[in-house]
Amino acid sequence: MSKRKPLIAANWKMYKTPADAAAFVTAFAPLVKGHTRDEIVLCPSFLSVATVVAAVKGTAIHVGGQNMHWQEEGAFTGETSAAMLHAAGCTHVVIGHSERRQFFGETDETVNQKLHTALKHKLVPIVCVGELLAEREGGLTEEVLLRQTSKALVGITAETAKPIVIAYEPVWAIGTGKTATPEMAAEAHLIIRSCIARALGREVAEQLRILYGGSVKPDNASSLLNQPEIDGALVGGASLDPQSFAKIVNYIES
């Protein structure tokens, strides 16, 4: 079986103007020039997508959206469609980030609908799942991960599943400086992979990439990314600085 290619994505959240985003790429691109081991994705705000797409031209860096609507188009003020992202040059899209679940009413059902629409528009969906601190402390981690993963995959078939990426992001580790230990992350990834296997078969489950996210930094990237179960990272805070994000992308393989 071929090895899963790690994917390392920068989630810039609501940071950086288009000018800031362009300056990032100017500093970052030379630091990862010729890097082929990992797939690199920058997810700027919608407003900076066009700028970043233009800036990464001729490099191996991809661009992704941070969210999208599940409908093709319509009267949905403030929303962005999958077709718009694709037309603007995005190849990836983050779906169901915990901040969207917590603050913007994202549900397992909307995540599932968005996943279908993203696949239809040839976007690589990065679907986020992860437990809250209270859920971990209440012994509910497995239940939450199984629910979020299986509901995200409703109606997905082994044939259509290939591009899907899952990001395990324990909510208590996001932006807090607290990281899941590599062992905790690997354990959660096994739970997610077994859920994918039940839904779509072992073969598909072995192919899909599962990223870790939650306070990934240059100094913990190697220990996390060297876990065989961890197929990359979704990075928030530490992706805002080009040097810091380049250090993560260039983690040392052991």
**85 is written with which tokens?**
């992202």
Asked if 126 is part of the footprint of ligand PGA (rule: CB under 6 A), the reply reads no
Shortest Cβ distance from residue 138 to ligand PGA (Å)?
22
Asked if 213 is part of the footprint of ligand PGA (rule: CB under 6 A), the reply reads yes
Shortest Cβ distance from residue 127 to ligand PGA (Å)?
12
The residue number whose beta carbon is nearest to ligand PGA equals 236
C-alpha–C-alpha distance, residues 120 and 167, integer Å: 20
Asked if 165 is part of the footprint of ligand PGA (rule: CB under 6 A), the reply reads no
Asked if 96 is part of the footprint of ligand PGA (rule: CB under 6 A), the reply reads no
Task: Give the binding range for ligand PGA (CB under 6 A) out of 112-120, 138-146, 200-208, 231-239.
Answer: 231-239
Q: Is the dihedral of CA 141, 145, 130, 106 positive or negative?
A: negative
Place of tokens 């040392």: 252
Shortest Cβ distance from residue 34 to ligand PGA (Å)?
26
Phi–psi pair at 95, nearest 5 degrees: -130, 135
Out of 169, 170, 186, 189, the only residue in the binding site for ligand PGA (CB under 6 A) is 169
Going by the DSSP 8-state scheme, the letter that residue 99 receives in this structure is H
Question: 130-168 b/e with 16+ CB inside 10 Å = b?
Answer: bbbeebbeeeebbebbbebbbebbeebeeeebeebbbbb
C-alpha–C-alpha distance, residues 119 and 100, integer Å: 20
Q: For ligand PGA, which is the closer residue by CB, 44 or 213?
A: 213
Q: Is the dihedral of CA 133, 224, 148, 128 positive or negative?
A: positive
Annotated catalytic residues are 97, 169
Asked if 11 is part of the footprint of ligand PGA (rule: CB under 6 A), the reply reads yes
Q: How many CA atoms are closer than 13 Å to the CA of 69, on its beta-carbon side?
A: 13
Task: Give the binding range for ligand PGA (CB under 6 A) out of 24-32, 201-209, 222-230, 232-240.
Answer: 232-240
Asked if 175 is part of the footprint of ligand PGA (rule: CB under 6 A), the reply reads yes
Asked if 234 is part of the footprint of ligand PGA (rule: CB under 6 A), the reply reads yes
CB atoms within 10 A of CB 224: 25
Shortest Cβ distance from residue 158 to ligand PGA (Å)?
28
Asked if 44 is part of the footprint of ligand PGA (rule: CB under 6 A), the reply reads no
Shortest Cβ distance from residue 169 to ligand PGA (Å)?
6
Residues that bind ligand PGA (CB under 6 A): 11, 169, 174-175, 213-216, 234-238
